[in-house]
A and B are shown apart, each in its own frame.
Chain A
Amino acid sequence: MTDPRPAELDISPPRPSFWRNLSFVWLVPVLALAISLGLAWQNFANRGVLVEITFLSAPGVTAGETTIRYRDVTIGRVEQVTFTPDLTKVLIRARIDKEVATFLDKDAQFWIVSPKVSTRGISGLSTVLSGVYIEGAWDQEPGVQAYRFDGADGPPLVQPGRDGKRITLITDDGSLISEGAPVFFHGVEVGRLEKPRLTVTTDSIVVDAFIEAPHDRRLNSATRFWDTSGFEVSLSGAGLSVNFDSMASLLAGGVEFDSVYEGGEPVSPGHVFQVYPDQASARKSLIARSSADAVQIAAEFGESVSGLEPGADVRYGGLKVGEVVAIAAQVEEDETGPNVRLMANLAIEPDRLGLPAGAGKAETLDFFEAAVDEGLRARLAATSIFSAALIVELVEIPDAAPAVFERAAEPLPILPSEKSNLPDFTATAEGVFERINALPIEELIEQAITMMASIEAVTSSESTRAVPDTVVALLEDTRSLVNDEAMRALPGDIRATVAELRAVVSELKEGGAMKNLASALERADKITSDIATASAEFPALVEDLRAVAKKANSLEAEELVAAATRVLDSADKVIGSEAARDLPPVLNGALDEIRTTLAELREGGAVENANATMASARDAADAVAKATESLPDLSARLEKLVTQSEALIAAYGERSDFNGETLAALREVRSAARAVSQLARAIERNPNSLLIGR
């Protein structure tokens, strides 16, 4: 009992095996390890697929933060933002969830979503606070997985995988079409345009468009596209109309399409359509669809075809049956040498002409051949009063000049034409201008210039200028003569003289002078009757004038001008003739003489003398008796004058003689004046001679 230690403890039992000794606690770390490894493996296994996306710039993209989204659901995260080795682009490495990554084929598109304001609205507003993210779009078909993508500038207009048809549009003017512009069908937006681009070889602008299903079924070969950009103002018989489709198309542009006829063939994706400037021209393009079926014929117009353009309608009974394809000049050899004919090529659609379906060229030409026999003619017509555009009308003119349809003509059969006779404003105006063009304006002006020169020569001559002075002086003289006291006293004397003269006349009755006087009076009577006759001809003159006015009315300007030219010719000849130039000096001389006569009368105290003479009333009778001796001479002179006057009147019609006669008459007047002057001098020298008859 002194040793408290039990001895048996020193006997060591066999050691329990390592495994039996193992505590259950070891399960804890094993479990922990298993869970950790499991998590790690799961994490690794579910780790997204690393893809690389390149962008030209990556504003706001941060590694580890920026998410990749598909349909606005986060499917991945950017892991690294770096540059391509050549620094041309930003390279973004991102992990995309495995489940989604299988759909990522080469068609997948990525773009950076940031706030954007455009005509289509405001988008990406949520990114203002949350920061940008990268949105992806791809179709629902798993394809060959891709790992490198080029980032797009913006969302694709068409989400990949959406049903629809992608087509190509060609236009000449891309200024009104912008990316994302809507495509309308009857005003409903059914698609969008992609980015317009210039073709390399031509100046055309090509823009792809995507038409969503089910509207893409509307597309067929009868479909025409036209531009609905901006707004359209049209003035027509129906009034003024302003059209625009939507604010979006007003700002961003847009195109609309429609089928312009029934029964178009379906088109395959990628079909190329032309964009027409407006709906009207799109519908006008109808003919293009069956240009293969159209029968081409030609028509020759014997008048100006200005205003007729390719594309103009060909109408039959008001209905469009075809259109003008080309206007061509054709050189033809005939006996007078090469002859240019202006031909309009017409494409006629047989079925629009009312021919049975399937009618070919032969049937159409048969129809024309028969129709031309019955008077069918091609004729130009105006489309409207405001437009200079012309169309070709096929009209039936029953009484048309016979013509044949030149079926065998090369290169195209020729349809006879008729001159357009309708009140075609354009043609009339054209005709007027053509005739005005043809007027001899230059000659007329030349004539006028010559006339003016002649008139100038006449008026600028010294003698002509002297005429007024002379006349003034003459008037002065006359006035002073009239104012003279003696002259005032004359009437009283004259009354007495008249009484004497009465007695003289009674004596004269017995004299032979009366016979001469009577014949002179007879002639005067005849002159008067002549004048009467002339006045009787006045209505005829009025008639003539009326005829002239009529002529003017009927625009026979050529003749009018010709007549005017003739008149001016004559006038020129008159004025230009030597005689006309002599006229003023002669007139001057005459006036001079009259003046001197009067001056002499005054200076010589002729009036006083006359007064004195008259005072001696008794002597007067004797003097008159003597004077009667010279009366026959005076009568003869008077007779001559009358004859000349007569000739003058007779020659009035012939303008060329008129002048000479006038001149002669004036000369006579001059000589008469001279005679008076001599008489006056004689009276001055010997006043009594008149009275005493010496």
Chain B
Amino acid sequence: MENARRTQAVLTARRAGLVGCTGCGKVHAAGDTVCRRCGASLQSRDAKSLQRVWAWLAAGMVAYIPANIYPMLLTTNFGKTQENTIVGGAIELFLHGSWGVALIVFAASVLIPIGKFIAIGYLALSARSKVVIRGHGRQHLYEVVEFIGRWSMIDVFVVAILSALVRFDFAATVNPGIAAVSFALSVAFTMISAQNFDPRTLWDAYEEDDT
């Protein structure tokens, strides 16, 4: 009844008795186990995908905590050392009037990672169930998450570049703090998490609909 409005039934590869290679995209018959073109193993559904997603996501979230607690930048200016956490730095920039830069930093360092956590968590949770967002929407969400993931590294790049460039000994020195490493790890983990997600599972729920 609910699905009556659907204009088009979803035919998945599995139902069609096919399996696609995730490496090169070649479509094989369901029974094949090895890609005949690139040699990658073929699986219609990655049964352990969700486990990995959750594991990496958890790692990313764990890493995100020290990234926010510990200082990101250690700025030494005429013997005075100043420590800035991610949020602290953004707030400081905002207070200094550079609200544009502050917004970018805040978005890249706080909004995007947290958004990613939520998005991946949502996708992983809802993979096998029918939820409000339809299969297409969730597919778009997944694509966005995968695309935007690397941009979260903007903060890490800033720290890396500053640390490399600002080396004036006593006058001014910038050193990365523990948070920089943690943040980089967190971003990396969430990227791996997103990559491990098997978007094919998003459609399994609709498969049953049609039976």
Contacts and interface: CB of A to CB of B under 8 A. Distances in A.
A61 to B, nearest CB: 13
Interface stretch (B48-56, B97-105, B150-158): B48-56
Contacts of A21: 47-48, 51
A25 interface: yes
A506 interface: no
A309 B193 CA distance: 103
Contact of B51 (A22, A32, A36, A131): A22
Contacts of A131: 79-80
B52 A33 contact: no
A28 B55 contact: yes
Contacts of B59: 28-29, 31-33
B79 A130 contact: yes
B177 interface: no
Looking at chain A's contact residues, is the secondary structure mostly helix, strand, loop, or mixed? helix
Interface stretch (B61-69, B112-120, B125-133, B139-147): B61-69
A32 B185 contact: yes
B58 interface: yes
A36 B79 contact: no
Given A23-B51, A25-B52, A32 B189 contact: yes
Nearest to A67: B81
A239 interface: no
B65 A36 contact: yes
B78 interface: yes
A4 interface: yes
Nearest to A133: B79
Given A32-B59, A36-B63, A39-B66, A25 B185 contact: no
A266 to B, nearest CB: 48
Given A21-B48, A65-B80, A26 B55 contact: yes
B17 interface: yes
Contacts of A36: 62-63, 65-66
Interface in A3-45: 4-5, 21-23, 25-29, 31-33, 36, 39-40
Given A23-B48, A130-B80, A28 B65 contact: no
A1 interface: no
Nearest to B48: A23
Contacts of A33: 58-59, 62
A29 B51 contact: no
Contacts of B79: 126, 129-131
B97 to A, nearest CB: 23
Counting chain B residues whose Cβ lies within 8 A of the other chain, the interface size class is: 20 to 34
Contacts of B48: 21, 23, 25
A129 B55 contact: no
Chain B CB within 10 Å — which of A22, A36, A39, A65 has the most?
A: A36
A27 B56 CA distance: 9
Counting chain A residues whose Cβ lies within 8 A of the other chain, the interface size class is: 20 to 34
Contacts of A126: 79
A25 B55 contact: yes
Contacts of B58: 29, 32-33
B183 to A, nearest CB: 13
Interface string B161-201: 00000000000000000100000010001000000100000
A130 B78 contact: yes
Chain B CB within 10 Å — which of A25, A27, A131 has the most?
A: A25
Chain A CB within 10 Å — which of B62, B63, B185 has the most?
A: B62
Contacts of B62: 29, 32-33, 36
Chain A CB within 10 Å — which of B66, B178, B185 has the most?
A: B66
Contact of B55 (A29, A39, A40): A29
Nearest to B29: A4
A284 B83 CA distance: 67
Contacts of B51: 21-23, 25-26
Given A21-B48, A36-B63, A36-B65, A28 B78 contact: no
A23 B55 contact: yes
Nearest to B79: A130
Given A4-B17, A23-B55, A28 B80 contact: no
A180 B41 CA distance: 85
A6 to B, nearest CB: 8
A21 B81 CA distance: 50
Given A36-B62, A36-B66, A29 B80 contact: no
Nearest to A28: B59
B72 to A, nearest CB: 16
Contacts of A39: 66, 178
Chain A CB within 10 Å — which of B47, B55, B81 has the most?
A: B55
A22 B79 CA distance: 52
A19 to B, nearest CB: 12
B142 to A, nearest CB: 19
A373 to B, nearest CB: 87
Nearest to B185: A32
Given A5-B17, A130-B80, A32 B52 contact: no
A651 B74 CA distance: 130
Contacts of A26: 51, 55
A464 to B, nearest CB: 109
Nearest to B182: A36
B52 A23 contact: yes
B78 A129 contact: yes
A25 to B, nearest CB: 4
Contacts of B65: 36
B179 to A, nearest CB: 11
A16 B55 CA distance: 20
Contacts of A29: 55-59, 62
Chain A CB within 10 Å — which of B79, B185, B189 has the most?
A: B79
B178 to A, nearest CB: 8
B17 A25 contact: no
Nearest to B66: A36
A560 B69 CA distance: 114
A36 B66 CA distance: 7
Contacts of B82: 65
Given A23-B48, A131-B80, A28 B189 contact: yes
Contacts of A40: 66
Contacts of B55: 23, 25-29
Contacts of A65: 80-82
A47 to B, nearest CB: 13
12 contacts: A21-B47, A23-B51, A29-B55, A29-B59, A31-B59, A32-B63, A39-B178, A40-B66, A129-B79, A130-B79, A131-B79, A131-B80
Given A36-B62, A39-B178, 9 more contacts: A21-B47, A23-B48, A23-B51, A26-B51, A29-B62, A32-B63, A33-B58, A33-B59, A36-B63
Interface of A: 4-5, 21-23, 25-29, 31-33, 36, 39-40, 64-65, 126, 129-131
Closest 3 CB pairs of A and B: A130-B79, A29-B58, A29-B59
